[in-house]
Amino acid sequence: MIANNIQLDEQGRLKHFLSIEGFKRQHLVNILDAAEPFANVHEQAVKKVPLLRGKTIVNLFFEASTRTRTTFELAAKRLSADVLNININTSATSKGESLLDMLHNLEAMHCDMFIVRHNQSGAAHLIAQHVSPHISVINAGDGCHSHPTQAMLDMFTIRRHKKEFADLKVVIVGDILHSRVARSQIHALTTLGVSEVRVVGPKTLIPKQIESLGVHVFHDLQEALIGADVVIMLRLQKERMQGALLPSENEYYHLYGLTEQKLKLAKPDAIVMHPGPINRGVEIASSIADGPQSVILEQVTNGIAIRMAVMSQTLGRSHELPKSSRDNA
Amino acid sequence: MTTCSELDQSKFNSTLNLEQLLDTMHQAINKKLQSLNKDDVVMIGIHTGGFWVAEKLYKKLGLTSPLGSLNISFYRDDFTKIGLHPEVKPSQLPTDINDKHIILIDDVLFTGRTVRAALNEIFDYGRPASVTLAVLLDRGERELPIYADIIGQKITLKAGQQIKLCGPDPLKLVQNKC
């Protein structure tokens, strides 16, 4: 197990953002608070603030992504940073260069931050352990382990609709087994003090001993939806499934797909979330994905603000002590 | 840092009457408004002290555009030195500022760096027709070529002395910290 304090510097400030585990409630609240003003930047005629001018941010995506990569890129650009997108398939890694050799080459080009997505759990941690001290690493999804900025943008979206976390009943539905999003969400929800987190899915897609994370396990969606404030649907990650975990997509939709009829069991003001990409008619009915309770596209917009907050907090750490004599007046 | 004693504070307040300063600003802004169409004027206060001053003035002036607030945290020149405060309040410019005459309000004008940041932020929202800077106090010692058009009062402080507007209710000027 890798120590989590690697995410904070000596003064307890955010240095890397690799997983939700290891953070206290106040850390997460700080990130949510920091994201609020960034959510307004798009209202400016010039949709940019100069915070990270002169910083170079590298998107290192070893796994396919559209939403996450583009929102990280947009977040960096709205902070006025320069962004490099490395296409791993056509990079020298495919010529046999090792991961760490590639990192050291990028460091030699004076980059300041790596945004890493990898299909192996722990990849971002590994990179964070080997980079120079001035470089920050953000995990944009590693295997089945963690996707912390997705979890934080989900928390941000929930807070904008529900204000207080304490009294909420949150239901996470579907392929929990392969979902790094679900793992990060569970850690974030429990850290923020949500009273009840329910996970629902077929036995084959619920990890063993997940109760130890403080969640209630259900196998009947209708039972789990009763009284829910927030319903989070997950995509069936067929690309990660090995072996026969499901009888068929039709059968899955019948049992675990969110339909209007089933959603009526939740509270009337319940919100429906999905980290995307959505599979209509597999885990969610089109009428719900496009319906009034869906906040799926808001999640995408909020992703930019959260990523701006995390980037500016990690890269904005001072490397010298502030001078107290003269205020910025 | 030491906090000022009772005696110092009362002496300090006798030379700086907040109501009087606001009144001086109000009169000067009113004079400025005579040459302008009031509907084209937007008042913006710099968060937080400048916004409190702007709130007081805005009530008296009868402007039609809503009062704006500007938080310059994202435009500061010392971000890499002091980092980002975790609770930055968003800027709110509720109207289109293109071709508007902006009255920009701050509490204390000192180095000029805050105003530099504020001007940069304003121009990211649009292209105003003009910007008039109005401040409660001008303590001199500029580090940038920036001046105020309207000043409540000019003051001189000794090296290391600070002056700060605390508020919002009640508003008062204090030495050192609130």
Band of the pLDDT at A302, cuts 50, 70, 90?
very high
- Residues of chain A in contact with residue B1, where contact means CB-CB under 8 angstroms, are 324
Q: Do B84 and A46 touch (CB under 8 A)?
A: no
> How far from B119 is each of A45, A46, B45, B130, B133, CA to CA, in Å?
14, 13, 12, 11, 10
Cβ atoms of A229 and A293 closer than 8 Å: no
Residue A19 amino acid letter:
S
Stretch A3-28: mean pLDDT, rounded? 89
CATH number of A148-295: 3.40.50.1370
Say yes or no to pLDDT of A326 above 50.
no
Nearest to B108 among A36, A45, A329 (CB): A329
Q: Is A80 helix (H, G, I), strand (E, B) or coil?
A: coil
Show which residues on chain B lie within 8 Å of chain A, measured between beta carbons. Answer: 1, 71, 73-84, 86-92, 98, 108-111, 113-114, 120-121, 123-126, 160, 162
Query: What is the Cα gyration radius of chain B?
Result: 16
Give the phi and the psi of residue A120 in degrees, each rounded to 5.
-100, 130
pTM to 2 decimal places: 0.86
- Residues of chain A in contact with residue B162, where contact means CB-CB under 8 angstroms, are 327
Give the phi and the psi of residue A227 in degrees, each rounded to 5.
75, 15
Q: Which of B1, B79, B95, B119 to mutate to test the interface with A (most CBs of A within 10 A)?
A: B79
Which ipTM value was assigned to this complex? 0.74
- Residues of chain B in contact with residue A37, where contact means CB-CB under 8 angstroms, are 71, 73-74, 88-91
Q: Do B110 and A329 touch (CB under 8 A)?
A: yes
Question: Mind telling me how many Å the CA of A37 is from chain B's nearest CA?
Answer: 4
**pLDDT 10s digits, A266-277:** 999 999 999 999
Residue B113 is predicted with a pLDDT of 96
Q: Do B125 and A329 touch (CB under 8 A)?
A: no
Q: Do A318 and B81 touch (CB under 8 A)?
A: yes
Residue B7 is predicted with a pLDDT of 40
**pLDDT 10s digits, A48-63:** 999 999 999 999 999 8
Stretch A199-211: mean pLDDT, rounded? 94
Pairing status of strand A169-173 against strand A196-200: parallel
How is domain A25-146+301-320 classified at the CATH fold level?
A: Rossmann fold (3.40.50)
Instruction: Please give the residue of chain B at the shortest CA–CA distance from A33.
Output: B87
Per domain, the residue ranges of chain A are 25-146+301-320, 148-295
Pairing status of strand A196-200 against strand B68-70: unpaired
Q: Say if A25-146+301-320 and A148-295 have the same CATH topology.
A: yes
